[in-house]
Amino acid sequence: DGGITQSPKYLFRKEGQNVTLSCEQNLNHDAMYWYRQDPGQGLRLIYYSQIVNDFQKGDIAEGYSVSREKKESFPLTVTSAQKNPTAFYLCASRQTSGTSTDTQYFGPGTRLTVL
Amino acid sequence: GEDVEQSLFLSVREGDSSVINCTYTDSSSTYLYWYKQEPGAGLQLLTYIFSNMDMKQDQRLTVLLNKKDKHLSLRIADTQTGDSAIYFCAEKPGNTGKLIFGQGTTLQVKP
């Protein structure tokens, strides 16, 4: 069963705590992405990685960190420096080689609520 | 700069056609995409169109691309209540690996 998994689906944390969101894919995709979605808004890019051990900041990277130690995994840490972390977080992946249409495929999302 | 604009809301009756519109700014975009998001879920790819095409049809979905006006539309024929969702338009500028998303259009289908 191939796809992108994100866990947990719902996450509650106290203000001031760091929290790590998981994203795993078994599609053998090279590139992975993290987006943030707020109510009534489109998706905003946080970080992306096009190859293992390398990643770039997106449009709203402040207060977030990532790692890409394995091709399959791209965890996102929401740090205490992120001013308004409550949001819906979406992970995506993309094949970069061959006859790729550059399509990004999305996971089911994690809803983070900071109390 | 890069920007994608969509109207925020569309309401139609079941059985009617729905047309969701999108404008984009980057003329170097190679692919344009339509995604569907149901409540509390991730984004599901509906269809995409390559920038050298004018039209693409896939069952009830028709995508029209006017590259001169940088206008993209998604037509859903015989709209069903199960089509109620948020629809996102996205462009892929040039050789970047990034997608630029619109704000999303909420489609409400009334029985």
pLDDT tens, residue by residue, A72-93? 999 999 998 888 999 999 999 9
Does A26 have pLDDT greater than 80? yes
Sign of the CA dihedral running A85, A43, A108, A28: negative
Contact indicator for A11, A115 with CB cutoff of 8 Å: no
- Residue A102: phi and psi, rounded to 5, are 60, 20
Provide the shortest C-alpha distance from residue A67 to chain B (in Å).
Answer: 18
Mutate to test the interface with A, among B3, B7, B38, B43 (most CBs of A within 10 A): B43
Asked if B48's CB is within 8 angstroms of A42's CB, the reply is no
Asked if A101's CB is within 8 angstroms of B31's CB, the reply is yes
Q: Given CB atoms, is B104 within the 8 Å cutoff of chain A?
A: yes
> Mean per-residue pLDDT for B12-35?
92
The alpha carbon of B71 is separated from its chain's Cα centroid by a whole number of angstroms, namely: 10
pLDDT, averaged across chain A: 92
Higher-confidence position of B29 and A106: A106
Asked if B104's CB is within 8 angstroms of A103's CB, the reply is no
Residues of chain A with C-beta less than 8 angstroms from the C-beta of B98:
33, 45, 48, 58
pLDDT, averaged across chain B: 92
Does B1 have pLDDT greater than 60? no
Q: How far apart are CA A33 and CA A56, in angstroms?
A: 10
The alpha carbon of B44 is separated from its chain's Cα centroid by a whole number of angstroms, namely: 12
Strand partners, A47: A34, A57
Among A42, A48, A101, beta carbon nearest to B98: A48
Among B4, B41, B92, beta carbon nearest to A102: B92
Q: How far apart are CA B30 and CA B19, in angstroms?
A: 23
Range scoring the smallest mean pLDDT among A55-69, A96-110, B17-31, B71-85: A96-110
> Mean per-residue pLDDT for B51-73?
94
3-state secondary structure of B65: strand
CA-wise closest residue to B18 among B82, B67, B66, B68: B82
Q: How far apart are CA A47 and CA A55, in angstroms?
A: 7
Does A61 have pLDDT greater than 90? yes
Residues of chain A with C-beta less than 8 angstroms from the C-beta of B97:
31, 48, 50, 94, 96, 102
Does A98 have pLDDT greater than 90? no
Residue type, B97: G
Q: Which residues of A touch B (CB under 8 A)?
A: 4, 6, 31, 33, 40-43, 45, 48, 50, 58, 90, 92, 94, 96, 101-109, 111
Among A31, A50, A106, beta carbon nearest to B42: A106
